[in-house]
Amino acid sequence: MRMVDWKTRPISRRSALGAAAALGAVGVGAAAGRPDAAEHAGSGAMHDGGTASMHGGHGENRVVGEVDHSRNGFDPAEILTDFDYGEIKSDENGRTVREWVVTAVDKEIEIAPGVFFPAWTFDGRIPGPALRCVEGEHLRIVFQNGSSHAHSMHFHGIHSARMDGVPGAGMVNPGEDFVYEFDARPFGCHLYHCHALPLKRHIHKGMYGTFIVDPDPDRHPEARDAALGRRHGTPENAGWQEFVMVMNGVDTNFDDENEFYAVNTIPFAYFDKPIRIERSRPVRVYLVNITEFDPINSFHLHANFFDYYDHGTTLTPTLRTIDTVMQCQAQRGILEFSFADFEPGLYMFHAHQSEFAELGWMSHFEVV
Amino acid sequence: MAKSWIWIALPVAALVAVLAFLLIGRPLAPLTETAPPVEEVAVETVDLEPGMISLNVRADGSGPVTIAQVQVDGAWRMFSASPSPTIDRLGTARIDIPYPWIEGETHHVLLLTSTGVGFEHTIDVALPRHAMNGESLFRLALIGVLLGFVPVAIGLLAYPAIRAAGQNVVHFMLALTVGLLLYLFVDTIGEGLELGAEALGRLRGTTVVWVAAGLTLIALLAVGRRGGKAPEGIRLAFFIALGIGLHNLGEGLVVGAALATGAAALATFLVVGFIVHNVTEGIGIAAPLATRERPSLAAFAGLAALAGLPAMVGVLLGTGAVNPYWAALCFGVGAGAILQVVIEVAAFMMRQGGSGVLVAPAGAAGVVAGLVVMYTTALLV
């Protein structure tokens, strides 16, 4: 409850000083004998600016200390680009198969400097491995449950009911395993997550990851160049700087509200250690929102605009020239932009829910 | 003789053995190893200076508690902790948070421990700690004197009137004293319990209020009846003044804290209310002197000072950051002192007018009038 009307405060404060002097009794809490008081009251609204210039902008909105990434077993700087292409094999019918082995692990994660969270993970990291394949390939995901709870991998993609990774189809008990098998379609930027119940708990504990299906250029003659730029392993794709960003939150005290927000889990990670970008090469961000508890999350880029491909399932942008995009939970998309001809320097990007930004989802690109 | 010595040593040895078994043998370890740590953090005092929020916090738990991160108004903030962010059981730390807090507004602080548990504290109205100089001290002292000494002295002015009145009026006035003291007792205990509840759970702030009240009551009864005689006349008036003085110390703390945390706008109402309220206290002190020879003026001044000046001390202390635990203890002592006087005044009346004096018309009316007057005038505060 606000007991004082801040809009009229500077005026009422000054008039209160006069009254205080007259009464001879009121002045204690007001300004009697405090040379700095009137100045302080009057300049209240300007404090932020003053502090900002003294401490280098945003400097004091941060977490204190550093996360031990090696103890966690994953580093947000590496998670940005460590696409997991699995292993190409031939199955018993001689058909080519792309195969991954993913293991569920219970693990204590240092979720922010000095704050430890009893997480459930895929392969000991949050987000789990960014599985990347090409449209039309046959996929096998061998899921081993090394956790103390039943889990599953539910892929956002096209597959049969048996492969859905939900209670009754592909739920895996501790110590057991299951092979999810389907064809890679549609192309786009997708995700997978555990679909065990209670769903909210299994998601916010950390069981999710990115699932990227690159378009097959041969199937898209009408937009072959765009498809080549997206398909990994081509010279056209090599020109791009690609990053995976999973917008997530962590509820450390289990009150169904997130204490920390971030892309790729660790708050302020890319604020302190900016993501390096070469001006000469275009940028592509695979953006996934898996934030639990809050209806939406968003991505806002400073000083620049981007084209957006919702779900990544098209080769022409679904939104052009925007600088902010919002996603509900499980919504995802591809952002494409360029810093060519820009002045080198630090360019912010963050959630444009100020609340999320100040709780950790605040980052920098360092354009060189 | 030798045998009885063994029966002291044996229980002590047995106790040591059991404690050693629990602490060294750790038979309960399997129970506690998997249990999540229990943590509690209480903010005891808040200190605001331009651009800086400082908190004194006390921690409790199954092990040391580490303050890992700090939020202000829903944003993670830079902070420093001294002597250390890791606080032992019942230990304290000072948390300094550079923050552009805004005068007159509400701010929310959240302390997040290493286990991810958050402890919230709300600064209802942010006001800077005022630098104490001669002028502000004088002003505070003036408020204190107006709150306590002045009204008690005014009440004592009624002494000649009480003295001139008949037996029934004296009984009525004494019963009025009992009534007003009963009101103060309930009020003091209530304030104490409220503050005690703010202290860290293990410190049992609310229990401390009752224990302090009990100990004070017993001690003052014993001192008052030293020599085998219950206090009467000027000695009884002295104890009444002492009890009221301790109550007013607590009252002063509350007023001082209110002035420091934003109720400054109410200061005039507060002072007017307390003056009306506390005049009755002066009458209460005067009542047991009615049947005696008139004491000296110096004695009256002393009684007024004893009952009234602690309010001034309270105001001065209260404008600083008050630790709720010590404040609760203070209220407990005050309540005990008041209860002692209730007992002694009632005993005095019974010696004078028989055991039924308090339920006789004059007595009953006095008690009721005391309670009603105190409640009614408290509405002004």
Q: Which residue of A has its CA nearest to B146?
A: A25
Confirm or reject contact between B104 and chain A (CB < 8 A): yes
A172-176, A183-187, B47-51, B289-293: least confidently modelled range: B289-293
Confirm or reject contact between B233 and chain A (CB < 8 A): no
B149 and B117 inside one domain: no
Predicted confidence (pLDDT) per residue in B302-323, tens digit: 999 999 999 888 888 877 767 8
CA distance B259 to A153: 60
Whether the CB-CB separation of B247 and B306 falls below 8 Å is answered with: no
B22 in a structural domain: no
Domain boundary among B123, B144, B169: B123
CA distance A218 to A134: 11
- Give the gap in angstroms from C-alpha B74 to the nearest C-alpha of chain A: 7
Domain harbouring B116, CATH code? 2.60.40.10
A50-64, B216-230, B361-375: least confidently modelled range: A50-64
pLDDT at A14 over 70: no
Domain boundary among B99, B123, B147: B123
pLDDT at A247 over 80: yes
B346 and B285 inside one domain: yes
CA distance B149 to B305: 6
Those residues whose C-beta lies under 8 Å from the C-beta of residue B371, and which sit 6 or more positions away, are: B179, B180, B182, B183
C-alpha distances in Å from residue B248, one per residue of A157, B313, B330, B341: 74, 9, 11, 15
CA quadruple B26, B30, B33, B38: dihedral sign: negative
Give pLDDT, residue B130: 62
B208 and B344 inside one domain: yes
CB-CB neighbors (< 8 A) of A1 in chain B = 106, 124
Confirm or reject contact between B140 and chain A (CB < 8 A): yes
Q: Which carries the bigger pLDDT value, residue A99 or residue B197?
A: A99
C-alpha distances in Å from residue A253, one per residue of A236, B39, B117: 46, 12, 5
pLDDT at A42 over 80: no
Predicted confidence (pLDDT) per residue in B126-149, tens digit: 877 766 677 778 888 888 888 889
Number of H helices, E strands in chain A: 10, 21
Comparing CA positions, the residue from B123, B110, B155 lying closest to residue B48 is B123
By Cβ distance, the residue of B51, B103, B319 closest to A28 is: B319
B12 in a structural domain: no
- The number of domains in chain B is 2
Predicted confidence (pLDDT) per residue in B272-306, tens digit: 777 777 787 888 888 888 777 788 888 889 999 99
CA distance B333 to A140: 75
pLDDT at A127 over 90: yes
Whether the CB-CB separation of A216 and A231 falls below 8 Å is answered with: yes
B269 and B347 inside one domain: yes
B282 and B229 inside one domain: yes
**Interface with chain A: mutation pick from B139, B145, B255, highest number of A CBs within 10 Å:** B139
Give pLDDT, residue A3: 43
B128 in a structural domain: no
B78 and B143 inside one domain: no
Predicted confidence (pLDDT) per residue in A271-320, tens digit: 989 999 999 999 999 999 999 999 999 999 999 999 999 999 999 999 99
Domain hosting B150: range is 134-378
Domain boundary among B123, B158, B184: B123
**Whole-prediction pTM value?**
0.76
The mean per-residue pLDDT over the stretch B247-266 comes to 71
The mean per-residue pLDDT over the stretch A165-178 comes to 95
B237 and B298 inside one domain: yes
Confirm or reject contact between A62 and chain B (CB < 8 A): yes
According to CATH, the superfamily of the domain at A69-367 is: Cupredoxins -  blue copper proteins (2.60.40.420)
B138 and B118 inside one domain: no
pLDDT at A365 over 50: yes
Confirm or reject contact between B114 and chain A (CB < 8 A): yes
B186 and B334 inside one domain: yes
A202-211, A223-232, B291-300: least confidently modelled range: B291-300
ipTM score assigned to the predicted complex? 0.76
pLDDT at A332 over 80: yes
B156 in a structural domain: yes
Give pLDDT, residue B342: 87
Domain ranges of chain A: 69-367
Give pLDDT, residue A301: 98
Predicted confidence (pLDDT) per residue in A73-116, tens digit: 999 999 999 999 999 998 888 888 999 999 999 999 999 999 99
Give me the DSSP letters along B331-345.
HHHHHHHHHHHHHHH
What average pLDDT does chain B have?
Answer: 85
Determine how β-strand B118-123 pairs with β-strand B107-113: antiparallel
B115 in a structural domain: yes
B213 and B114 inside one domain: no
**Interface with chain B: mutation pick from A28, A36, A259, highest number of B CBs within 10 Å:** A28
Phi, psi of B364 (to 5 degrees): -60, -45
* N- to C-terminal Cα separation, chain B: 64
CA distance B338 to B330: 13
By Cβ distance, the residue of A26, A32, A112 closest to B69 is: A112
B95 and B238 inside one domain: no
**Interface with chain B: mutation pick from A51, A60, A355, highest number of B CBs within 10 Å:** A60
CB-CB neighbors (< 8 A) of B271 in chain A = 25
Q: In what order do the strands lie in the sheet with A154-155?
A: A83-84, A128-134, A208-214, A188-193, A154-155
By Cβ distance, the residue of B75, B146, B262 closest to A3 is: B262
The mean per-residue pLDDT over the stretch B10-18 comes to 91
Give pLDDT, residue A151: 97
B70 and B148 inside one domain: no
